[in-house]
Structure 1
Amino acid sequence: QFGLAFDDFGRKFICSNRNPLQHVVLHPRYLKRNPHLAFSDTVQDVAPPGDAARVWPLSADHTTAAFIPSLMSTPHAGTFTSACGISLWRGGALPAAFANSAFICEPAQNLVQRQVLTPDGPTFKSVPATPGHEFLASADTWFRPVFSATGPDGALYICDMYRKVIDHPQYLPEFIRGTLDYEAGKTMGRIYRVVPVNSKLQTQNPKLDKASTKELIAKLNDANGWVRTTAFRLLAERNDGVGDSDLKQAVMSPAPGRASARVAALHLLSKAGKLGSEIFDSIRMNETPDEFRMVAVKLTEGRTETFAKTFALESLMGVSGPVGFQGVLCLSGPHTPETVAYLAMFAFRHGTNRWARAALFSSVGSQGQALLESSASNFGYYSQPEWLPLLTELGQLIAASDSPTNLGSALATSMGFHLGIDKVKAVPAQSAFASGLGNGARAKGLGKDGRSALVTLASANPDTARRLGELFAAASKTVSTASAPTPERLAAIDLLAHSDAAIAGAALQSLIAPQTPNELQAAAVRALSQLPGAKAGEWFVERERWRSYTPPVRDAVLTAMLSQPALQLVLLEAVEKSVVQPWAVPANRRNPLLKHKDAAVAARATKAFQPQGAADRMKVYEDYKAVLALPANAKNGKAVFVKTCAACHQFAGEGQRVGPELTGIRLQPAEAILLHIIVPDAEIYLGFTAYDIETKDGRSLTGLLTSDTPTSVTLRAAQGVEETLLRANIAKLTSSSTSLMPNELEKTMTRQELADLMAFLKGQ
């Protein structure tokens, strides 16, 4: 289920059963150096994961995990389910066309896939080399490739476990577990050597352990990746200093050679403490591959010499994403003004890439304002949609890391009064920055006298307050302009959340209509719920309006109301008055009311929702079994799925990946599927436990914990909406004993619709 491989330049790749190829982009230690950075990822899926990870087997479908409910999100014929044993082709007997290839073993479906990697900023993306057929596949269902590697002769070696059954018994249907021989084939494993037809292989043992140091250094340039790696290992073990001059020549020579050989020489010199200024000077003056420069920059990390710091700084000026990315990771604060200027140049070149931004903000630490001052003159350029996340995240970082007294000056700087910024061109960038700054300031509770935190910050400077008012007016116009790019409208909506009801209420309310895309409606709901002085709660639950919401918008309304203490009581009153039916508020979302700190409110909620116990739900299940006998229409069932289930589940590529993926559920008995619908708490699958988070600014959030680092966590709610929270802003985090899937879902459809849904899920 796992794999580990490195390329010629030390970049680390891994895999797991449904993630066929991943790149470890950065180490968590880099994120840890800035506790104010809300970023929790360290690994990039190079190949599409999950049900997008296609394979083309020759054997029959035996992905047996589909038979058990607890794994119904993982088994799918025609996709990776057991990716392991990855290797990166680094040269040997295979043709040159195999460069930049990864081999991925898939024992469950009896094949090995080759994928081709291409650079994608500081990371990679990959696609199958031959869509429609595999590099190696067998109709023999006992063929179980689990490991691949290059051998001393340059061939690709594949280890075949060769077993009849590789599934653990618990992953098989109960009725078949006792009929299988789980040891069948345990003495029959084999190793395949894969070579081109009529190829000429190295047949003699290279005997590298007998080679001289000079001979080993020459082998660093060998065409065979195994030979290069072994020579490097032996040289590192010897570390006798005999070949230092040859290693320096390998690094400094302008003559062409393998970049990987020069990289190996760099590492050996670094290990020996012989990586001096003359080497970095030669790299600076000569034309060298980006990968080689990237490694050279990495080896400056932790060094205090001026030449090493200068070399790392200069890397930020280049157009190469990987080189500059590594340079930013090597630079830790506090920074001099010169270094901040270099960081601003890196932001200008690479700030549209999320990994580049994470590296940048992890390095800048609490000097966000200095970075802002070095970047503000570019706001006209940064107003393009792809640049807006850079400004929003910078605003959030400054608000999280700086003192409240300094945030007003950051807002004034972004307005650019002293920089001659074109006000019209800069509006989207200024709005994005102000929105991010406002989000961070709100989390600190900086609003005063019924005003938002952002307005409070601006009030200290009349020019800033006036300009912020102009931005609010421009944002109101943008959100109402249907032809405006969606990223600009979303940024404008986010900014209006920091104004007030008089300025933004009408514009935001006009978006919550069937004609508006769900993404914009949900953003408008969030913004309305945050407006100071707004009566958004009463507006959200007006009877006719509540009935008009589509499921995604209704979910956004519930999320907004349950996360705001003042709106929670409005929602409770709507439930008590039957404007909102109790079943419309999922059981796992009711905790802010059922566990309210005011005992009287909690008692009202308990009475209003009248939660059914497990026994009550089982009675409902027994009653609804009759649905299974109804004639059903799977086509109608698809419409029911889209309306009722797609906000959280995916089926055949349609819907959101919050709860388990349901394509493989067709293999389960109909009674089991019905049980999951009627009694969702009967079994909560591994990885789908709900978490409740209370933030220090009073919000209550519920969702799946999809990522966590030493400084932040990421929560995924319905519709796949994710929010990353700094741990410093979390007051309480608890796991829920209930499923994210609501009880009483059957009340949202007729019995005939439920029968149709069952037919659709069963593939009838």
Structure 2
Amino acid sequence: MLLRSCLALASASALLGLHAHAEIPQPADAPQPLSPQESARAFVVPEGMQIRLLAAEPLIHEPSGICWDERGRVFVCELHGYNVEGQIDIDELNKSGQLDTTVRRIAASESAKTKAEAETYGTVKLLRDTDGDGVMDKATVWADRLPPCYGLTAANGGLIVACAPHIVFLKDTDGDDLPDVNERLFTGFGTGMLERGINAPTHGPDGWIYFGRGWPGSGAITGPHLKEPVKLPGTHFRIRADGSAIEPVGGSTRTIGTTFTAGGDRFVTTTTSPGLLVTPLEWRYLTRNPDDVAPPLDAPATTETRVFPIAPVHPWRTKREQHAEYFAFYKKISLSDAAASGYFTSACSPLVYQHDALPGLNGHYLVCEPAASLIHRSEIVRDGTALRLQRVKGEEQREFLASRDSWFHPVSLTQTPQGGIAICDFYREIIEDYSAIPRHLQQQYGVTHGQDRGRIWLLLPQDESRLQRPAPPPTATEARALALRTADADHFQSHSELEKELLAMDFEDASAPPQLVLQATLSLGQSRSPQVFDCLRRIARTHGTRLQWIDCAITSALYKREREMLLALARDPGASAPVMARLASVIAARGDVAEIQSCLKEAALITGQPRQILTLGLEDAQPLAKGAAVPEVPPPAPPTAEQTAAWESRMPAILAALQDKPDLAAGRTLFTGVCASCHRSHGIGTSVGPDLDAEFQRAPETIVRDVVFPAEAARPGFETTFIKTRRGESLLGITASDGPGSLTLRLPGGAERTVLKKHATIRTLRNTSLMPSGLSEALTPRQLADIIAFLRSR
């Protein structure tokens, strides 16, 4: 009897222990990895092409970039640590034995992020094929434990590696196949979300190396070969390979990669749009006229949003879509975010292919969509001075290259020296950012399976004799435009023949190639010839209404001569109306009262829109009337230690209020009155700060902390900017556009204000937020809980 009782007690204890440390159920439907040979058979590639393995695990894992150096050697960089913080976080959560089914989007804990740092780094390897079978079988580590690497390129006999916060130069000078030079060419770049650092160094046709932008840095960029520190705006940038120069360029997306056409036009991409055309006005041209306001520096080149994958959709995506609450949760952002598949969600690494080796591909635009296991192709179509992207005929409902292996995740495309395409495959089960995956599904599937894997594939022609063909030259128009752009960099000092050719062009030929006319207009501004003014006048009369950006190109070349050109065109306008309006805008922005008044005196000539612009400019240039109230908006200061402690002491009461039944009507009213001037949710308010339908997809306790401590929640792209104008006004808002000579500020309420940098004092406020601190004191815990409940309601 005693034995039976003891056995029963032991059994009960075991059951209790099992319940206390229950295992998280492991799903049986998780996709399994394929061997490289099996994965190779899963590809569908265009007719006349083949896929071949170049390298695979265990030789490499988590490859993020590849290049060939001047000696034909193959180098790869690796990015380690992706999603590790999420895995550490859920490993801890899984100890509870309970699935977290709360509908929200939540980042890993700070302790998980700290632990993940040890596994977050970059590696550069030299690969060799020692047995001649075409597959790399030996790797030599060139650099290890760098910051995470997202791209590399060959230059100056070595390698340039993007690894924020640095750009590193590696070189082997003694021929032992190991680098004895490891130099930080530049440092000071921002860091943050792992995949959003500076990236994809790419050689441009002008001799510079271009980089994708990353997180904003906290200060200036420095380097041993720079004469002085350089402050970069929130755009892409370019460097000289020797580290002697770094400067901003157009394009400000927050994804990976940049690519050039044969004519020098540049594309970038963002996650949900496969291609954005960078405005073809180089930064150096836009800086010539500090009184001019720069146009938007990039814009979508296509309306395409759909993709057609052939790989099975990962079960976590299907389950999230079928979960009514989660579907509604993500549908607030867009259908593409909520749907399991079928849309661009991770577009990256664009490539304009420029070779004849792969049949029918020369001049086409490719972009990776790693979440859908495919590579998309577009045809580039000339549209005046702009370029459009459109699907290639026959691929309206299929993709250029796709795999049935759902572990295939292309993240980088590189054209090989022979004309093939190298594809870096971040081969793993889940490529998505862990926080986008419902927590209970993270717990079951994990988010780092496959981190010990990685492949590089070569896309080659079936007829490999095509690899011996030379790369096709640019067209005559492309070559002329590129020659002008290169020659005018030194003001034509050593290119007198090109300058003579430029000045002799027939600028009144309305059939001239648009891209050549635009580049010629920009290059005219670099010439010191007295003929330039008349050339620009003829361009304005002939092409002013015909060609996009021609007005910007003309005003960039006419600093302090805008009035002269405005009067000349007013006497014989032709098709120059947009140019005249822009000239008037520059004069108005400069704010020289005498200059504006002298233009307005020409009443018979200056009429219509230019006159209206000048009249407004005169009003803005005048000092404020004596006694007029000047809006004073003091810049916010970081909270003191005492304030922080006081707010922290209120957190328990607010968290407790979250447990009570909310009043959604009260939350809506409070949101409208307190938050809607800067945030938008449920169709209410203005998107000055983050759209709360999209940004507040996290746990209620996380939202509380964002409200109570707004400086902690400041996001890249929403930095607070403080401006003091020449009239004495104080402006506080979010930077909407940062051009070479002007800055556009988005103010609370949604209005925008553009100021010339030379007429204002501008400060970017670090560790502060436009959102006022101390809301937890102005609102009761119950009121804060009601606002949060309203934000999370569906």
Smaller-chain TM-score range?
0.5 to 0.7
Which structure has more strand as a fraction of its residues? Answer: 2
TM-align CA RMSD? 5.1
Greater displacement, 426-435 / 397-406: 397-406
CA contact (8 A) 1:40 1:712 kept: no
Matched, 1:409 2:624: no
Aligned residue identity for 1:304: S
SS of 2:518 mapped into structure 1: helix
* Displacement of 1:367: 0.9
Kindly, what percent of the aligned residue pairs are identical? 26
CA contact (8 A) 1:300 1:312 kept: no
What whole-Å deviation, never above 9, does each CA across 1:35-78 have from its counterpart, x for those lacking one? 33332754444357xxx9666766346799x9xxxxx9999566
Matched, 1:103 2:369: no
CA contact (8 A) 1:704 1:715 kept: yes
Aligned to 1:454: none
1:202 pairs with one of 435, 460, 463: 463
Take 1:13 and 1:761, find their aligned partners in 2: how far apart are those partners?
37
CA contact (8 A) 1:111 1:145 kept: yes
* Displacement of 1:690: 0.6
* Displacement of 1:103: 1.9
Aligned to 1:113: 376
Take 2:397 and 2:467, find their aligned partners in 1: how far apart are those partners?
39
Aligned to 1:555: none
Q: How does 1:307-326 map to 2 (within 5 A)?
A: 307-312=500-505, 314=507, 320-326=513-519
What whole-Å deviation, never above 9, does each CA across 1:233-258 have from its counterpart, x for those lacking one? xxxxxxxxxxxxxxxxxxxxxxxxxx
1:395 pairs with one of 566, 574, 584: 584
Matched, 1:726 2:756: yes
* Displacement of 1:166: 5.0
Give the 3 Å change call, closer, same or farther, for CA 618–347 of structure 1 in structure 2.
farther
Q: How does 1:374-523 map to 2 (within 5 A)?
A: 374-377=568-571, 387=578, 390-391=579-580, 393-398=582-587, 405-413=594-602, 415-416=603-604, 419=605, 426-436=607-617, 438-439=619-620, 442=621, 446-447=622-623
Aligned residue identity for 2:366: F
Aligned to 1:566: 630
Take 1:638 and 1:400, find their aligned partners in 2: how far apart are those partners?
41
CA contact (8 A) 1:17 1:84 kept: yes
Tell me the TM-score normalised to structure 2 length: 0.53
Q: How does 1:723-762 map to 2 (within 5 A)?
A: 723-735=753-765, 737-743=767-773, 758-759=788-789, 761-762=791-792
CA contact (8 A) 1:148 1:159 kept: yes
Take 1:631 and 1:22, find their aligned partners in 2: how far apart are those partners?
46
1:184 pairs with one of 450, 456, 459: 450
2:411 pairs with one of 140, 146, 158: 146
Give the 3 Å change call, closer, same or farther, for CA 177–681 of structure 1 in structure 2.
farther
1:304 pairs with one of 467, 481, 496: 496
SS of 1:204 mapped into structure 2: helix
Aligned to 2:265: 11
Give the 3 Å change call, closer, same or farther, for CA 299–732 of structure 1 in structure 2.
closer
Give the 3 Å change call, closer, same or farther, for CA 429–750 of structure 1 in structure 2.
farther
1:28 pairs with one of 258, 283, 286: 283
Q: How does 1:218-367 map to 2 (within 5 A)?
A: 227-228=471-472, 260=474, 262-263=475-476, 291=478, 294-295=481-482, 298=485, 301=488, 302=492, 303-305=495-497, 307-312=500-505, 314=507, 320-332=513-525, 339-348=532-541, 349-350=543-544, 355-367=549-561
CA contact (8 A) 1:2 1:85 kept: yes
CA contact (8 A) 1:294 1:326 kept: yes
CA contact (8 A) 1:391 1:432 kept: no
CA contact (8 A) 2:711 2:769 kept: yes
Matched, 1:614 2:644: yes
Aligned to 2:52: none
Take 2:771 and 2:664, find their aligned partners in 1: how far apart are those partners?
22
Give the 3 Å change call, closer, same or farther, for CA 343–299 of structure 1 in structure 2.
same
What whole-Å deviation, never above 9, does each CA across 1:154-174 have from its counterpart, x for those lacking one? 876644231235578999999
Aligned residue identity for 2:600: L
Give the 3 Å change call, closer, same or farther, for CA 300–679 of structure 1 in structure 2.
closer
CA contact (8 A) 1:36 1:397 kept: yes
CA contact (8 A) 2:667 2:790 kept: yes
* Displacement of 1:144: 0.9
CA contact (8 A) 1:316 1:325 kept: no
* Displacement of 1:116: 4.7
Aligned to 2:729: 699
Aligned residue identity for 1:591: P
Take 2:668 and 2:782, find their aligned partners in 1: how far apart are those partners?
13
Give the 3 Å change call, closer, same or farther, for CA 678–400 of structure 1 in structure 2.
closer
* Displacement of 1:716: 2.8
Aligned to 2:139: none
Matched, 1:2 2:252: no
Tell me the TM-score normalised to structure 1 length: 0.54
Take 1:702 and 1:54, find their aligned partners in 2: how far apart are those partners?
39
* Displacement of 1:360: 1.5
What whole-Å deviation, never above 9, does each CA across 1:363-385 have from its counterpart, x for those lacking one? 112211111112224679877xx
Give the 3 Å change call, closer, same or farther, for CA 131–744 of structure 1 in structure 2.
farther
| Long gaps (5+) in structure 1 | 67-71, 196-200, 209-218, 220-226, 233-259, 264-289, 448-529, 536-564, 569-588, 596-605
What whole-Å deviation, never above 9, does each CA across 1:330-354 have from its counterpart, x for those lacking one? 0126877753343234334335877
CA contact (8 A) 2:425 2:454 kept: no
Take 1:307 and 1:321, find their aligned partners in 2: how far apart are those partners?
20
CA contact (8 A) 1:392 1:434 kept: no
Take 1:136 and 1:651, find their aligned partners in 2: how far apart are those partners?
39
Take 1:5 and 1:752, find their aligned partners in 2: how far apart are those partners?
52
CA contact (8 A) 1:40 1:707 kept: no
Aligned to 2:698: 668
* Displacement of 1:662: 3.7
CA contact (8 A) 1:102 1:115 kept: yes
1:717 pairs with one of 734, 747, 769: 747
